[in-house]
Amino acid sequence: MSNKSFRVTFTRGDSSSVITSTVQASSASQAKEKIKERERGKAKIISAVEQ
């Protein structure tokens, strides 16, 4: 399974600021996990859309 590009939109901690990041992953759920891992579990995922 090859990696795809996903645009993940999320908020960090208690902040209301929306952050958009592009990550390489094999699925949308893996893309979400990568963001959560990078943000040490403090990210609240809004969406993950394949590019």
**Domain limits of the chain?**
4-50
Residue 25 in tokens: 């992953």
Q: What pLDDT is recorded for position 13?
A: 86
Contact call for residues 43 and 34 (beta carbons, < 8 A):
no
What is the pLDDT at residue 2?
A: 82
- What is the rounded CA–CA span in Å between residue 33 and residue 7? 13
Please report, in tens digits, the pLDDT of each residue of the chain (51 residues total). Answer: 689 999 999 999 889 999 999 999 999 999 999 999 999 989 999 999 999
Helix, strand, or coil (residue 13)? coil
Phi, psi of 31 (to 5 degrees): -60, -40
**Rounded Cα gap, residues 32 and 44, in angstroms:** 9
The pLDDT score that the predictor gives to residue 1 is: 62
Q: What is the structure's pLDDT at 12?
A: 93
